[in-house]
Amino acid sequence: EKEEDNVKCCVPACKPLATMLRGVVLSSHAEALMTLCTMYTLYVPDLYFLSTASTRGDQALFCCTLVVFSLFTIDLVLRCVLTSGYFFFFFSLDLIAVISLIPDVVFCISGKDLLYVMRDLYL
């Protein structure tokens, strides 16, 4: 069965684009990138908060968190649209991952000094 037959698309003219995007989303490179994003989300902020790093790295941490949040959101949307059978177990895990990053992203955008609050909580 051809790859194009597995892609559901409302507009027939978009089927080649949908097939290409599905190939990208399901590629080993995309999987590796999302695995790295997961490792970042699980460990880097906590290690940064526990470290004695100065606040000079705060903006870099916030930018990386925003990029990871964006990648998780794009991956979630593309998989919802392009992958049949995704709305079960893996969808719920990806949705939880995106939701768990929302507080971090809100603090990044608002400019509040979350790191001082978190460091006080950890100590």
Give the up-direction half-sphere exposure of residue 85: CA atoms within 13 A in the CB hemisphere: 2
CA-CA distances (angstroms) from residue 18 to 2, 11, 34, 103? 14, 10, 20, 32
Each residue of 69-115: pLDDT tens digit?
999 999 999 888 888 777 778 888 888 888 888 877 776 666 555 55
The alpha helices in the chain, defined as continuous H runs, are 3-6, 15-25, 28-50, 58-82, 89-110, 114-122
| DSSP symbol at 113 | -
For the chain, report the end-to-end CA distance as a whole number of angstroms. 57
Cβ neighbours around 81 below 10 Å, total: 16
pTM of the model: 0.74
